[in-house]
Chains A and B, each alone.
Chain A
């Protein structure tokens, strides 16, 4: 394992979440962790407050990496800048009518508001065909008129979206030139620049989102940068992108849509880093918070990236982003008994407000967190110490009334059932996420973080046949850690769309070589320190005539035709149990990811060695009764900060720390590794 030679650099990773802004400052002799309330109106205040609380002069900090939800919130709350769209005559409604969908398979209710309102979408005569040939010349005067009209209507940002611009962007480019001459600012987005891919709805929405959040992100970043500079910071700060890479604050707003899903991406980056250091290749990351759970796959220490994600119903953002899937299960998920007399947990959630009953903020419905409390898995003394907290008896009363009574079982069993049903639902979702990509969960390690993840991780692993769970030192600041350790990453996709036996293999190599060259060039232009560059190739494939794709890794730049055929056939058989010798293979896309690896960060530094006890026995702070599968067991309670590295112990046990609680079941064995991760072997528990 490389020694941390680069400990001299002082780096601050800052993640702004819904409730808290987390900061992790890496200094020469250790780290500082700061948690401040998120300032919702302008996240910058919280960021500056967190930096101030570290006491470190900004002039001595070498890099500030920032994960922000500024654009995410803007889209979800539709607090967007006034944006106009100029589009091909006959097609201004593309981003409103969509592709004929409804939010759910069943139920005729549903609503949708387009990103750009219809009165701000103007048409101009122009037309390309699918081959990129001009059918109708661009009416340049119409573009000028449209620009004037949109400015009159008070638009601050503008997006140009023409049909088939992916095939020939000339008209879009020319329209942008015309706009540059009259538009009072730089907020001009052209659809093809962001996403050069066919499908007018997806490309149009992606471009419209970009245009609509760009001024918001720009103002935010600009103000924060000048505040930082004023305080003595000497460089551009860096912003996390949704693909798990980072980009300079100066450049980030041009492709603002790429930051829309950046929040969950940094957590996955941290997981990948921790796993790599621990010598683990394949991870399923499991981040369970108050209202939802994020799940992602990490293969060969690199997070899987997708360019087909939707932020919400009918809101596709088709730029490469870490493939994080969200499940509506969180600590606040509500348990209820259905008309059929069955227990249901979620997706309805008490959220953070009013939250679970035990928070004492007016919650009246039983939640997963309340169940964890009743079963002794959460420490009642910590949770019920707040001012208005109800008594344990009051919570039991509510469980009796709303779950145990209707189910005809006792309170303990009802609380246990809530946990079991919730776990079952999450496990099912994780299986679908992994198997739909053709992977077997049993080949993975489960990396658990978020406030509630470590409470449920072991049970999920057992359910899924996952042999091991890894819980990082500070599960609650994983996203901030991700900002510190994230790499610089560039993804390239080039369409080939030809039967494999007709593909020119020399051309394949040329395409991928060019992708590697471009990626390396981009990485070398960054100011942040890069230690090594890794390159991954892959291909999207199918049998001729199919529409769905299956992604396969290509081991080398010069992978042969025969090898590709073999890799594809094997992957297809593993997934579908089908061989199709009658039908040819089709090579659809060639993909290359170029990753600039940052210097290794010694995760051991996150722990404070002064708190550590000599032995595991000394880290044990007591025992309490905890419910495991129908039995109350007297269970050892450990304090996480006191656990020595290399220490080993067996379940049942509860490990408590400031930002989470870890449940270790009977039959599990735990080891504290050198980085301070708890490595939990599930063992044979059947």
Chain B
């Protein structure tokens, strides 16, 4: 295979990468849903014609989709072979959102287009976009107490939405009859198709320039080299077994924590991931389909080694045993809406927790790791129309060998920004009372965790219902190497002045809200890194001056005593307290 010189290989690889980046850009810039246009909740890639394996994926895609679409493309190829889907023709686009067929949750709708070069199937171009609604029990699809996938919305097997360049009006009509706010979906569908078309145009140009044979051998060679690069990275991990765990608060239906247990064995240069000790399948929507479980591991490894490229070869040294019989291997009809947003981040947390021991200089303590989904839906009498406000939030990142964790960082699986308060208040009948740094939430450590945020928001008029899909309410993000956990997530709803805390702490649905009622959320802080008593006392003093911690917390959490005027470190008292 290696008849291609390394320079041509570099250039072709960069070219394939750019095809994907342009698809990502086109999709976001032309989409209508803010969740795609602003939050970039989408991904684009190129997949092998025969096997469906990932060839290249856009770096601008939402991280949770690392590697996922290869599973749906593989399933599609399989369906075609079995006659369950019609064979591809030039100009076709398939649509599929079945979670059990290599997906995530129903809202992530995948399009796959066979790409022909000079009349021959060269590869597949696929993308996935998070639709703002897919039908089901609740607007937006995150039903916190669904117990079967049918309650979560419309489920599509792979079918041709576009046939030889023409949209099938019947399939389109079925979709529109089953989802909310259908009138704007045509814009998103066109955007999703436009991204594939732009990809086809660019890929054709690349093939014209270098020739199909050269590009093919470059792809083959590149797959091997990506595997080689991942192996070179993981060579730093000594042979042995590393254990990590993480807890999901509950499944939203049964109020019991779900355990993710991972054991990672390093042997013969590869890593073997075993999740079989995790909790059994759950009743509520926190089950994870296997494609998402696998992608979550890939995502965690990409966060640890950001410089490795994303293609099928990268994943080759990562062996993930199917965790059959656990909630990380969901089978029909288990509800799954929470897997992409929350469970995926707990899986990544478990991997971080396992690998921070062998890789302490490049793995951080646990980040907040929740998307912090809060939906407020209701009716605005002033504008005389219904509304649904989606608020996402960040939290603290874990401390690390080099510095304190970032404050209000994005979810592990996302890259999207939160909406400005000035925009939310413009569109929805709400008034925020506070949006600020959550004091004391950063986990103590030699390098402390970053801080979460606090926000309180009041309904001004009309009526509404509040729903939450968050996590880390029971325990905060875990500290590492002697560091302490970050502050856990809190949700409090003040109805008629009375405080209500959801039974499941971080998850609840349809809490009635009247004008004057207030929703208060505190998001998790990051875990601390290293022994808090090793933290420079001067940094603790600075943090107290900035109001990040109280003087009391400085003593309790870090063993640092300040002078009465809070202007200096009381050195002798600190030394005594720290026992040195």
B-binding residues in A (CB < 8 A): 90-94, 96-102, 104-112, 117-119, 127, 129-130, 135, 163-164, 166, 198-202, 338-344, 407-409, 413, 417, 420-421, 424-425, 428, 431-432, 435-436, 543, 545-548, 575-578, 580, 582-583
Q: Mark B256-299, 1 if CB is under 8 A from A, else 0.
A: 00000000000000000000000000000000000000000000
**A91 in contact with B434 (CB, 8 Å):** yes
**B7 in contact with A90 (CB, 8 Å):** no
A-B residue pairs, 3 tightest by C-beta? A100-B394, A339-B232, A340-B229
**B21 in contact with A432 (CB, 8 Å):** yes
27 CB < 8 A contacts A-B:
A90-B436, A90-B456, A93-B435, A94-B435, A94-B436, A97-B435, A97-B453, A100-B393, A102-B409, A104-B306, A105-B60, A106-B306, A108-B352, A108-B364, A118-B437, A130-B426, A163-B422, A198-B423, A199-B423, A202-B420, A340-B232, A340-B309, A343-B7, A424-B14, A546-B30, A576-B191, A582-B186
Q: B190 an interface residue at 8 Å Cβ cutoff?
A: yes
**A576 in contact with B29 (CB, 8 Å):** yes
**A97 in contact with B423 (CB, 8 Å):** no
B456: chain A residues at CB < 8 Å are 90
Contact of B228 among A111, A340, A424 (CB under 8 A): A340
Chain B residue at minimum C-beta to C-beta distance from A338: B229
Q: B225 an interface residue at 8 Å Cβ cutoff?
A: yes
Q: B547 an interface residue at 8 Å Cβ cutoff?
A: yes
**A109 in contact with B364 (CB, 8 Å):** yes
Give the complex CA separation of A105 and B415 in angstroms: 6
Q: Mark B415-458, 1 if CB is under 8 A from A, else 0.
A: 10110111101100001111111000000000000010100100
**B232 in contact with A100 (CB, 8 Å):** no
Give the complex CA separation of A425 and B10 in angstroms: 10
Q: Mark B202-238, 1 if CB is under 8 A from A, else 0.
A: 0000000000000000000000011011001100000
The segment from B31-39, B141-149, B510-518 found at the interface with A is: B31-39
**B409 in contact with A100 (CB, 8 Å):** yes
Contact of A108 among B367, B432, B436 (CB under 8 A): B367
A338: chain B residues at CB < 8 Å are 229, 307
Most buried by A among B10, B59, B60, B201: B10
A-binding residues in B (CB < 8 A): 5-7, 9-11, 13-14, 18, 21-22, 25-26, 28-32, 34, 37-38, 59-60, 63, 184, 186-187, 190-191, 194, 197-198, 201, 225-226, 228-229, 232-233, 302-303, 306-307, 309, 352, 364, 367, 392-394, 397-398, 400, 402-404, 406-412, 415, 417-418, 420-423, 425-426, 431-437, 451, 453, 456, 545-548
Give the complex CA separation of A118 and B11 in angstroms: 47
**A135 in contact with B431 (CB, 8 Å):** yes
B11: chain A residues at CB < 8 Å are 420-421, 424
Distance (whole angstroms) from the CB of B205 to the closest CB of chain A: 10
Give the complex CA separation of A417 and B400 in angstroms: 37
Give the complex CA separation of A105 and B547 in angstroms: 30
**B6 in contact with A546 (CB, 8 Å):** no
State the main secondary structure of chain A at its contact with B: loop
**B409 in contact with A110 (CB, 8 Å):** yes
Distance (whole angstroms) from the CB of B537 to the closest CB of chain A: 18
**B14 in contact with A545 (CB, 8 Å):** no
**B417 in contact with A200 (CB, 8 Å):** no
How many inter-chain contacts with C-beta < 8 Å in the A-B complex? 206
Most buried by A among B18, B25, B412, B422: B422
Residues A111 and B404 in contact in the complex (CB < 8 Å), given A432-B21, A548-B29? yes
Chain B residue at minimum C-beta to C-beta distance from A96: B437
Give the complex CA separation of A624 and B17 in angstroms: 38
B393: chain A residues at CB < 8 Å are 100
**A93 in contact with B191 (CB, 8 Å):** no
Give the complex CA separation of A93 and B197 in angstroms: 44
A432: chain B residues at CB < 8 Å are 18, 21-22, 25
Give the complex CA separation of A108 and B398 in angstroms: 8
Chain A residue at minimum C-beta to C-beta distance from B201: A577
**A543 in contact with B400 (CB, 8 Å):** no
Give the complex CA separation of A557 and B418 in angstroms: 37
**B545 in contact with A119 (CB, 8 Å):** yes
A135: chain B residues at CB < 8 Å are 431
Distance (whole angstroms) from the CB of A436 to the closest CB of chain B: 6
Chain A residue at minimum C-beta to C-beta distance from B21: A432
A106: chain B residues at CB < 8 Å are 63, 302-303, 306
Apart from A200-B422, A436-B25, list 11 A-B contacts with CB within 8 A. A91-B436, A93-B437, A94-B435, A96-B407, A107-B303, A109-B364, A109-B402, A110-B406, A201-B420, A548-B28, A576-B29
Residues A101 and B410 in contact in the complex (CB < 8 Å), given A108-B303, A135-B431, A547-B34? yes
Give the complex CA separation of A199 and B420 in angstroms: 6
Give the complex CA separation of A96 and B407 in angstroms: 8
Contact of A428 among B5, B14, B26, B306 (CB under 8 A): B14
Chain A residue at minimum C-beta to C-beta distance from B209: A686
**A107 in contact with B32 (CB, 8 Å):** no
Give the complex CA separation of A409 and B415 in angstroms: 40
B201: chain A residues at CB < 8 Å are 577
Give the complex CA separation of A436 and B398 in angstroms: 35
Contact of A110 among B13, B397, B435 (CB under 8 A): B397
**A119 in contact with B229 (CB, 8 Å):** no
Give the complex CA separation of A338 and B309 in angstroms: 11
Distance (whole angstroms) from the CB of B43 to the closest CB of chain A: 11
Residues A100 and B397 in contact in the complex (CB < 8 Å), given A130-B426, A342-B6, A342-B9? no
Give the complex CA separation of A547 and B37 in angstroms: 7
Chain B residue at minimum C-beta to C-beta distance from A94: B435
**A164 in contact with B435 (CB, 8 Å):** no
Give the complex CA separation of A685 and B190 in angstroms: 38
Residues A578 and B5 in contact in the complex (CB < 8 Å), given A100-B394, A108-B367, A108-B400? no
Give the complex CA separation of A99 and B13 in angstroms: 33
Contact of A107 among B6, B306, B435 (CB under 8 A): B306
Distance (whole angstroms) from the CB of B197 to the closest CB of chain A: 6
A425: chain B residues at CB < 8 Å are 14
A101: chain B residues at CB < 8 Å are 394, 409-410, 415, 417
Chain A residue at minimum C-beta to C-beta distance from B7: A417
**A100 in contact with B417 (CB, 8 Å):** yes
B437: chain A residues at CB < 8 Å are 93, 96-97, 118
**B400 in contact with A546 (CB, 8 Å):** no
B233: chain A residues at CB < 8 Å are 339
B10: chain A residues at CB < 8 Å are 342-344, 417, 421, 424
Give the complex CA separation of A127 and B229 in angstroms: 55
Give the complex CA separation of A98 and B416 in angstroms: 12
Distance (whole angstroms) from the CB of A218 to the closest CB of chain B: 28
Give the complex CA separation of A543 and B37 in angstroms: 13
**A163 in contact with B187 (CB, 8 Å):** no
**B409 in contact with A546 (CB, 8 Å):** no
**B546 in contact with A90 (CB, 8 Å):** no
Contact of A97 among B186, B303, B402, B407 (CB under 8 A): B407
A164: chain B residues at CB < 8 Å are 422, 425
**A90 in contact with B422 (CB, 8 Å):** no
Distance (whole angstroms) from the CB of A336 to the closest CB of chain B: 11
**B38 in contact with A198 (CB, 8 Å):** no
Distance (whole angstroms) from the CB of A56 to the closest CB of chain B: 50
B38: chain A residues at CB < 8 Å are 547
Contact of A421 among B7, B404, B451 (CB under 8 A): B7
A578: chain B residues at CB < 8 Å are 30, 190-191, 194
A545: chain B residues at CB < 8 Å are 32, 184, 187
Chain B residue at minimum C-beta to C-beta distance from A197: B422
**A340 in contact with B226 (CB, 8 Å):** yes
**B453 in contact with A543 (CB, 8 Å):** no
B547: chain A residues at CB < 8 Å are 118-119
Distance (whole angstroms) from the CB of A68 to the closest CB of chain B: 32
A436: chain B residues at CB < 8 Å are 25, 29
Chain B residue at minimum C-beta to C-beta distance from A420: B7
**A109 in contact with B400 (CB, 8 Å):** yes
Distance (whole angstroms) from the CB of A317 to the closest CB of chain B: 17
B431: chain A residues at CB < 8 Å are 127, 129, 135
Give the complex CA separation of A344 and B38 in angstroms: 32
